[in-house]
Structures are given as C-alpha cells and as structure tokens.
C-alpha cells in the first residue's frame, strides 16, 4: 500500500475526518467518490488506520494495529472487492460479510469494512448490503469506494455520508489521461492507442460523412465492454471541456475542445447516464443486441447537439 497523495483535496478531507473523529462523530458509512482509484483506496486505508489505531495520535503508524493494516493482515479490517477485473461483487460475498460483522472484534474495539469498488455490486449484493447499512452494528464502520456514482442504488447512497475527491486534482482535469496509464500490450492500452482514429471516426459521423451503421460496424470490431469504457472517458472529457477549460495540452485537446462546443453539457450528462446504464448491464451479464445498443447511443449524440 503506497502513501496517500498530499493534494489539497485529500488534505481538506483528511482534516475533516480528524475533526469528526475527535468529536466521536465518525459516520457508520462513508462513501468516497472520485476518478482515481489509488487516491480513494489510500485514503480509505488511512481512515481505517485512524479508527483502529490504539494510540492517542491516530494513526500513529507504529502500533500493532497500524503495522498489521500496512501489511494488510489486520483481523478487524475487511476488504471486499471483485474477484477479477471486469467482475462484480456478488451476494455470497455480502452474506459472508453479514456473518463476520456481527462477531466480536479480535484486536480492537471495532471493525472496518472497505468495499472497493462498491459500484461493481450486482443488484442482489447491493440489496443485501443495504440491510446492513440500515441497521449497522454499533462497532462497525463501512468505507465504500465508487468511481461511477450512478451505478450505485440511491438507497445505498442515502445511507452513506458522501465525500467527493476533486477530479481536477486527481487527473489534471484530463479524464483521457486514465487511458494512458495502461501498458500498450494490455487490452485497454491497445484500444487507447487507437484513440485518434476513434475520435476522427466520431467526428465523421457527427458531420454526416459516416453513417451510424457504418460507424457501429467499425467500432464493434473492438471488445464491447472496453469500447464502452473508452466512450465513457471521451464523454467525460467533453463534459470537462464544457465546464472547465483544461490547461493541460494533449494530442486530443484541440480536437475534442472543438467538438465539445457542439453539445449542451446537460445532454452530455444524459449520454453519460446512458453509458453507465450499458456498463451496469455488462457487469450483470445481461444479454444485449450490441449493434442496436451502440447505434442508439451514437444517435443520442446527434439528437442532443
């Protein structure tokens, strides 16, 4: 586990946590949302360390609890995640958690549960977790991490205190930078390497030089779930250019900033919700007519110009 990045956003949120901890008002469930997984994950571990630390200056980093958390071996810290990339958190995992959280803590006076990514729970798992959040054990704190808030049921969100990390500080106001983090020999890295071509094809479609069927045929040669991931990043980048003029110059900046001017930001958010809906169905292995789904999504951009 690497150390927490000291950005202004994380510093402010950490000060906020220290304040409510000192007043013994730490909520039973915190929902940490933002773009960069590592920042969220490191912050969650630091919060867990402070809750379980046995010393007065929390987290001390030296006591038995802090050392075990650093080694990811603390018996009272439970980390729940998907089994593999692209998978989901299933109800069986939540059922195991339900049994565990009602047992006595082994080393400290409480338990901490980190669920990451919480937005990858299937419906049954989310419903089961909701029951825990509605009547949580008094000594248990839940830390949920999510990048796509719209993938979480509103009932879950309402049971948590939401803390949002500044996207501009995490990725320099450039969502597509996320794609650059993947090695060129990975599936996502290979697809991201075709970003310039994909953007150009999208522009051809928007300017009536390429039909929706022709564009869908071209794009469906890629893995559908990875394609949705890249479209999500492009759409998020367009929104960012509408709301904040990025100071970071990338190869795609000028092209996408010009394209962003053709859309109303509310329509881009609407498209983002459509993409999130498609991604949720993919996570739950719901069968879809991929060609029809993609064509409808693309037509949404033309209708929302």
* DSSP notation for 18-85: HHHHHTT---SEEEEE-S-HHHHHHHHHHHHHHHH--SSSSS-S-SHHHHHHHTT--TTEEEE--SST
At residue 20, the pLDDT reads 87
DSSP assigned state of 148:
-
Instruction: Retrieve residue 37's tokens.
Output: 């997984």
Domains in the chain: ranges and CATH: 8-170 (3.40.50.300), 174-303 (no CATH)
User: DSSP string covering 116-138, please?
Assistant: TTGGGB-HHHHHHHHHHHHS--T
> In angstroms, rounded to a whole number, what is the distance separating the alpha carbons of residues 121 and 125?
6
Distance CA(244)–CA(170), nearest Å, equals: 15
The residues, ordered by sequence, that sit 6+ positions from 31 with a Cβ below 8 Å of its Cβ are 118, 144, 146, 152, 156, 157, 160, 161, 162, 163
The rounded distance, in Å, linking the Cα atoms of 119 and 74 is 25
**Are the C-beta atoms of 250 and 174 separated by less than 8 Å?**
yes
Output the pLDDT for position 171.
41
Which of 232, 88, 80 is closest to 152 using CA atoms?
88
What's residue 69's pLDDT? 92
In 10 A of CB 274, how many CB atoms? 17
Taking the CA atoms of the chain, what radius of gyration do you get in angstroms? 21
Query: How far is residue 3's CA from residue 213's CA, in Å, rounded to a whole number?
Result: 48
User: One digit per residue, pLDDT tens: the chain, 305 residues?
Assistant: 433 344 666 787 888 898 888 888 899 999 998 877 888 999 999 999 999 998 887 899 889 999 999 898 999 999 999 866 558 999 999 999 999 998 888 988 899 999 999 999 999 999 999 999 998 888 999 999 998 877 888 788 888 988 888 654 444 446 677 777 677 888 888 999 999 999 999 999 999 999 999 999 999 999 999 999 999 989 988 887 776 654 455 656 778 888 888 888 788 888 988 898 898 888 888 999 999 999 999 999 987 55
**Nearest-angstrom CA–CA distance, 1 and 6:** 15
For helices 290-303 and 224-243, give the axis angle rounded to 10 degrees. Answer: 10
Which residue matches tokens 């990043």? 233
Percent helix, strand and coil across the chain, each rounded to 5? 55, 10, 35
* Cβ-contact 99, 78 below 8 angstroms: no
């Amino acid at each position: 586990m690497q150390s927490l990045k000291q950005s202004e956003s994380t510093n402010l949120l950490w000060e906020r946590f220290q304040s409510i901890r000192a007043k013994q008002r730490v909520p039973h469930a915190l929902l940490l949302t933002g773009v960069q997984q590592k920042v969220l994950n490191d912050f969650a571990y630091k919060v867990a360390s402070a809750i379980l630390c046995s010393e007065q200056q929390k987290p001390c980093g030296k006591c038995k609890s802090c050392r075990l958390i650093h080694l990811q071996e603390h018996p009272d810290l439970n980390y729940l995640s998907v089994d593999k990339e692209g998978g989901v958190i299933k109800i069986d995992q939540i059922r195991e958690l339900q049994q565990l959280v009602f047992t006595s803590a082994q080393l400290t006076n409480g338990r901490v549960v980190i669920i990451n990514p919480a937005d990858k729970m299937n419906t049954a798992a989310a419903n089961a977790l909701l029951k825990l959040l509605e009547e949580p054990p008094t000594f248990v704190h839940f830390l949920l991490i999510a990048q796509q808030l719209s993938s979480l049921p509103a009932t879950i969100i309402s049971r948590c205190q939401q803390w949002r990390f500044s996207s501009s500080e995490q990725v320099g106001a450039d969502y597509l930078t996320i794609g650059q983090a993947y090695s060129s020999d990975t599936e996502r890295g290979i697809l991201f390497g075709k970003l310039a071509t994909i953007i150009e094809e999208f522009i051809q479609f928007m300017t009536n030089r390429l039909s929706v069927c022709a564009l869908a045929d071209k794009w469906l040669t890629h893995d559908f779930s990875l394609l949705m991931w890249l479209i999500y990043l492009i759409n998020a980048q367009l929104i960012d250019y509408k709301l904040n003029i990025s100071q970071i110059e990338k190869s795609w900046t000028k092209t996408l900033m010009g394209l962003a001017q053709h859309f109303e930001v509310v329509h881009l958010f609407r498209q983002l919700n459509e993409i999130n809906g498609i991604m949720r169905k993919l996570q739950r292995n719901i069968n879809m007519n991929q060609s029809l789904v993609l064509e409808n999504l693309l037509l949404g951009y033309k209708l929302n110009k």
